Homo-oligomer: A and B are copies of this chain.
Amino acid sequence: MEDIEIAQKNVLEPIEKIATKIGLTAAEIEPYGHDKAKLPLEALAKLNQNPAGKLVLVTSINPTPAGEGKSTVLVGLADALRQRQQRAVIALREPSLGPVMGMKGGATGGGYAQVVPMADINLHFTGDMHALTATVNTLAALIDNHIHQGNALNIDPKRIIWKRALDINDRALREIVIGLGKPANGEMRSDGFDITVASEMMAVLCLATSLTDLKKRISEILIGYTYDREPIYVKDLKVEGALTVLLKDAIKPNLVQTLEHTPAIIHGGPFANIAHGCNSILATEAAIHAGDYAITEAGFGADLGAEKFLDIVTPKLSKAPDVIVVVATIRALKYNGGQALADLKDESVSALEHGYENLHRHLQNMQRYGIPVVVSINHFASDTDQELAVLQDLISQEGLASAITDVHEKGGRGGLALADLVMAAAEDETPDYERLYADDETVTIKIRTIAQKIYGAADIELTSQAKQQLRQINKHGWNNLPICIAKTQYSFSDQPKLLGAPTGFTLTIRELIPKLGAGFIVAMAGSVLTMPGLPKHPAAEKIDIDADGKISGLF
């Protein structure tokens, strides 16, 4: 059965009933239809008066074409905790619309471990992405208009770094020339569109802790440089108020439910390479204060998303994670061990043992932060008993506990063993969270620390462009910011085909881009596509709707 069919057969609880599970009344939430709601800032303030629950971070090995199911495990774990009478609340990223029209595969879990209404969440949801798109493009229009109207700020059109954005996979908009035609059409210059989730505005929204903080972050966004190479910020255009107004609803986290009616707060979805890849701070804080367990995740593998959650996001949260769950699959580990994609259903203990080094390094990395780690072995039908036994043995040799999860087929019931491990880990120890680096170290040291300790690199190398950018960053005093490395998600290294646990490589930093609104420096290790394309046969060709509004072909 397709995911959307499972989702459509499910009878949702009214969103007001879900709200009561986190202690909010119907009047305290803003309904969007009968099964979605926004949590206004007043509701967040009320929640924050509650004691903090435990925070669980779900992450995974490096993604492979075999599929890992991180979001699915997250949903199943929360449902399982509810079955164990624990008040679990999910904090998850919201999906981007672009890929929905391109490739099969959403970000709302799968099978019997989904957040619903699945179609709405994957389409326009409550409009957050669209509000961001409008904000990004309003700023761009204001910049070009300023230049056209006399350019009092002396902005160099060749040094504008603020790009436009659409929540669409549109390869044709990656590199464009704008302002062609008549004089009234403005200054001609080269430009490009990113997908909205790759825009700094998304990261800004997700890291903002209040409307005031949001406006301050927006005002500090670096949009380009003058002809004299002096930085120009949004505040120089005096439009941070208007741009914040455009995000007045997008800042409010969204409340939905799982198929088993567990509350899920879904809010924000920055890319995990060019940005930090975690849902909003407001959503995570709400989940922390809305029950016994807040379950959140971070994009891609633990080298990207979890590292950023722990080094960039956690210092801004009221507490660090109490438990980290690392999701792995036999299939993906065998793929890491060299088995071909087509043969992954065939048993191969040797490929599994070889590929285990990928999981091993992620487990070592996560333990470095001083937080208890458990492993979810996400079960597939092709897994053999022998393979499962070998994997569990390898994990226990590290002194770690693992649970086989089968939430895709069984929902929360398939996650009970994992829930028990998580509860034990959360009670057993007082986490002694330790960051990987301090913000006041030099940019080079911060990058080298991540590259060596997390990626296993021998060293880092900056291109001449990156070195020049580093001088600018130091000159302007932007060096005291955390580092957000943009790199391929498929490998620990900067080379997508280097699977397993590569060592000895040099991580090349091509560019250093200050994101002053988000408050981090992006270090580009490789070319990261910030505007995806559509495949030869886009998913859009299969998606349909009947006369009664029933959708088909959406995954």
- Chain A residues proximal to chain B, CB less than 8 Å: 27, 30-34, 38, 41, 97, 101, 119, 123-124, 126-127, 130-131, 133-134, 137-138, 140-142, 144-145, 148-150, 166-181, 184-187, 190-191, 210-212, 215, 237-239, 241-246, 248-249, 533-536, 538-549, 551, 553-554
Neighbouring B residues of A212 by C-beta, 8 Å: 547
Given contact pairs A30-B33, A131-B124, A246-B123, A540 touches B177 in the complex (Cβ within 8 A): no
For the complex, what is the distance from the CA of A534 to the CA of B237, rounded to whole Å?
A: 14
Partner of A177, one of B133, B176, B186, B237: B176
Partner of A543, one of B171, B186, B245, B548: B245
Given contact pairs A133-B130, A246-B123, A175 touches B168 in the complex (Cβ within 8 A): no
A168 near B138 with CB under 8 A, answer yes
For the complex, what is the distance from the CA of A287 to the CA of B346, rounded to whole Å?
A: 63
Neighbouring B residues of A131 by C-beta, 8 Å: 124, 130
User: Is chain A's binding surface mostly helix, strand, loop or mixed?
Assistant: mixed
Q: Chain B nearest CB: distance from A244 CB in Å?
A: 5
For the complex, what is the distance from the CA of A549 to the CA of B140, rounded to whole Å?
A: 24
Q: How many monomers of this chain does the complex have?
A: 2
A175 near B180 with CB under 8 A, answer yes
For the complex, what is the distance from the CA of A180 to the CA of B171, rounded to whole Å?
A: 10
List, sorted by A's number, 19 A–B pairs whose CB atoms are closer than 8 Å: A30-B34, A32-B33, A97-B134, A123-B246, A124-B134, A130-B130, A134-B167, A138-B168, A141-B534, A144-B170, A145-B533, A145-B534, A149-B534, A172-B187, A174-B181, A176-B176, A186-B533, A241-B545, A244-B545
B31 near A211 with CB under 8 A, answer no
For the complex with contacts A101-B142, A172-B191, 20 further pairs of A-B residues with Cβ separation under 8 Å are A31-B34, A32-B32, A101-B242, A124-B249, A137-B168, A141-B534, A142-B534, A145-B172, A145-B538, A177-B180, A184-B533, A211-B545, A212-B547, A238-B541, A241-B553, A243-B540, A244-B545, A245-B544, A248-B549, A248-B551
The residue of chain B having its C-beta at the shortest distance from the C-beta of A127 within the complex is B127
Q: Chain B nearest CB: distance from A178 CB in Å?
A: 4
The residue of chain B having its C-beta at the shortest distance from the C-beta of A126 within the complex is B127
The residue of chain B having its C-beta at the shortest distance from the C-beta of A166 within the complex is B137
Neighbouring B residues of A137 by C-beta, 8 Å: 166, 168, 170
B172 near A141 with CB under 8 A, answer yes
For the complex, what is the distance from the CA of A299 to the CA of B416, rounded to whole Å?
A: 61
B181 near A185 with CB under 8 A, answer no
Partner of A170, one of B30, B124, B140, B166: B140
Interface centre among A150, A172, A238, by most chain B C-beta atoms within 10 angstroms, is: A172
The residue of chain B having its C-beta at the shortest distance from the C-beta of A190 within the complex is B180
B141 near A543 with CB under 8 A, answer no
Given contact pairs A144-B171, A149-B536, A179-B172, A547 touches B210 in the complex (Cβ within 8 A): yes
A239 near B124 with CB under 8 A, answer no
Partner of A184, one of B123, B149, B171, B547: B171
B242 near A150 with CB under 8 A, answer no
The residue of chain B having its C-beta at the shortest distance from the C-beta of A239 within the complex is B540
Q: Chain B nearest CB: distance from A257 CB in Å?
A: 17
Q: Chain B nearest CB: distance from A496 CB in Å?
A: 15
Q: Chain B nearest CB: distance from A215 CB in Å?
A: 7
Neighbouring B residues of A249 by C-beta, 8 Å: 124
For the complex, what is the distance from the CA of A38 to the CA of B123, rounded to whole Å?
A: 17
